[in-house]
A and B are shown apart, each in its own frame.
Chain A
Amino acid sequence: MHEAAITRAPTAAGVRPRPDGAGRRLLRGLRGNVAVLAALSVVLLLAALAVAAPFLPIANPNTIATSERLQWGRTSDHPLGTDEFGRDLLSRLIWGGRVSLLAGVGSMAGALVAGTTLGLAAGFYGGRLDHWIMRGAEILQAFPYILLAIALVAALGPGLFHAMLAITIVGMPIYIRLIRGAVLAIREHDYVQAARAMGARNRRIVGQHILPNVLAPIIVTGTLDIGAKIVATSGLSFLGLGTQPPTADWGTMLANGQQFLSVAPHVATLPGLAVFVVVLSFNLVGDWLRDALDPRLRGA
Chain B
Amino acid sequence: MRGGAFLAQRLVALVWVLLGISIVVFLVLRLTPGDPAMLLLGPVATVDDLSRLRRELGLTAPLYVQYALWLGRVLHGDFGRSITMHRPVLAEAFLKLKATALLTGAALLVSSVVGIAAGVLAGWRRNSAADRLSMLLALVGVSVPVFWLGIVLIYVFSVWLRLLPAGGMHSPFGGGPLDTLAHLILPAVTLGAASSGIVARITRSSVLEVVHQDYMRTARAKGLRDGQVLRRHGLKNALIPVITIIGVQMGFLLSGAILTETVFSWPGIGTMLVTAILSRDFPTVQGGVLLVAGLFVLVNLATDLSYTLLDPRIRYES
Q: Which A264-299 residues have C-beta < 8 A from chain B? A: 265, 268-269, 272-273, 275-276, 279-280, 283-284, 299
A269/B17 in contact, CB under 8 A:
no
- Given known A-B contacts A146-B255, A151-B289, A153-B277, A275 and B145 have beta carbons under 8 A apart: yes
Residues of A with C-beta under 8 A to B215: none
Between A and B, 19 residue pairs with Cβ closer than 8 Å are A136-B20, A138-B20, A140-B24, A142-B17, A142-B20, A142-B21, A145-B255, A150-B258, A155-B32, A156-B32, A234-B145, A235-B146, A238-B147, A241-B274, A257-B151, A261-B155, A273-B148, A276-B143, A280-B143
Q: Kindly provide the distance from the CB of B90 to the nearest chain A CB, expressed in whole angstroms.
A: 17
Q: A29 in the interface, Cβ–Cβ < 8 Å? A: no
B262/A239 in contact, CB under 8 A:
yes
B159/A261 in contact, CB under 8 A:
yes
B29/A151 in contact, CB under 8 A:
yes
Q: B237 in the interface, Cβ–Cβ < 8 Å? A: no
A interface bracket (residues with beta carbon within 8 Å of B) = 35 or more
The 3 A-B residue pairs with the shortest CB-CB distance in the complex, in nearest-first order: A272-B148, A139-B20, A280-B143
8 further A-B contacts with Cβ under 8 Å, apart from A147-B293, A151-B25, A272-B147, are: A146-B258, A147-B296, A238-B259, A239-B259, A241-B274, A276-B143, A279-B143, A283-B139
Q: B180 in the interface, Cβ–Cβ < 8 Å? A: no
- Given known A-B contacts A155-B31, A254-B148, A262 and B159 have beta carbons under 8 A apart: yes
Q: Kindly provide the distance from the CB of B152 to the nearest chain A CB, expressed in whole angstroms.
A: 6
Q: A227 in the interface, Cβ–Cβ < 8 Å? A: yes
Q: A152 in the interface, Cβ–Cβ < 8 Å? A: yes
Residues of A with C-beta under 8 A to B282: 154
Q: A94 in the interface, Cβ–Cβ < 8 Å? A: no
Q: Which A133-163 residues have C-beta < 8 A from chain B? A: 135-136, 138-140, 142-148, 150-157
A170 to B256, CA, bound (A): 15
Q: Kindly provide the distance from the CB of B157 to the nearest chain A CB, expressed in whole angstroms.
A: 12
Contact with B292, one of A147, A152, A154, A227 (Cβ below 8 angstroms): A147
Centre residue among A156, A251, A276 by max chain B CB count within 10 A: A276
Residues of B with C-beta under 8 A to A140: 24
Q: Kindly provide the distance from the CB of A167 to the nearest chain B CB, expressed in whole angstroms.
A: 12
B contacts with A: majority SS: helix
B285/A151 in contact, CB under 8 A:
yes
Q: A176 in the interface, Cβ–Cβ < 8 Å? A: no
Q: B263 in the interface, Cβ–Cβ < 8 Å? A: yes
Q: Kindly provide the distance from the CB of B3 to the nearest chain A CB, expressed in whole angstroms.
A: 22
Q: A70 in the interface, Cβ–Cβ < 8 Å? A: no
A261/B154 in contact, CB under 8 A:
yes
Q: Residues on A close to B: CB < 8 A?
A: 135-136, 138-140, 142-148, 150-157, 227, 231, 234-235, 238-241, 251, 254-255, 257-258, 261-262, 265, 268-269, 272-273, 275-276, 279-280, 283-284, 299
A275 to B21, CA, bound (A): 32
A144 to B257, CA, bound (A): 10
Centre residue among B20, B140, B277 by max chain A CB count within 10 A: B277
Residue of B nearest to A139 (CB): B20
B277/A144 in contact, CB under 8 A:
no
A261 to B300, CA, bound (A): 38
Q: Kindly provide the distance from the CB of A241 to the nearest chain B CB, expressed in whole angstroms.
A: 7
Q: B142 in the interface, Cβ–Cβ < 8 Å? A: yes
B151/A144 in contact, CB under 8 A:
no
- Given known A-B contacts A254-B147, A269-B155, A150 and B277 have beta carbons under 8 A apart: yes
